[in-house]
Structure 1
C-alpha cells in the first residue's frame, strides 16, 4: 500500500496540487475539523458509497491515526481504485482545517 506522511500531503496542498482526499472518520470526528476540500465518507459507509468515486483518479485516504484509512485503502484497492494512505492521520496533521 502506498503511503504519504501528513507533512507530504500538506506540502502538496500548499503547492496547489490537485488532490482527491477522502476522510473516513466518523461524523463527530470530522465536525472537529477536516482537511479543506476532503470528501467525507465514514469507513462504515465506504463499501456502499464507492460508486461516488472515480476509478481514473487517485485518492488519499485520511482518518484519525492511519488505521481506518489503511483498511479503506485495502477495500478500495480490491475494487480497482488507486489509493494512498495518509500515515499518522489527523493526529499528525499540522495544516489548515475547516
Structure 2
C-alpha cells in the first residue's frame, strides 16, 4: 500500500503455491513487484517452505525467471471463453 492505494498483493499458500500475484499497472516498472516477491520469498523461508510454484502468464514469465523460477509445464487454459497460454513454474530454495 502506498498513500492509501493498494499497489500489489500476493497469496502464498502453505504448499508453496504463489497465487494471485498482482501489481497495479500504474506501479509496474517501479520495483513494487520485486519488493512484493522478495517479501513472499522471505515469508516462505520463515515458514519453512522449500518449493514454490505458480501458474504464470506469458508476460509474467521473465519476471519469475529473474527470481530463479523454471518452467516445468506449458499449458493452455480457458478464461472467459478465451484460450490462453501460461506456464507452471517452480523454484526450490
Shorter-normalised TM range: 0.3 to 0.5
Larger radius of gyration: 2
Structure (1/2) with the larger helix percentage: 1
Higher relative contact order (CA 8 A, sep 6+): 1
Normalization by structure 1: what TM-score?
0.34
Higher strand share: 2
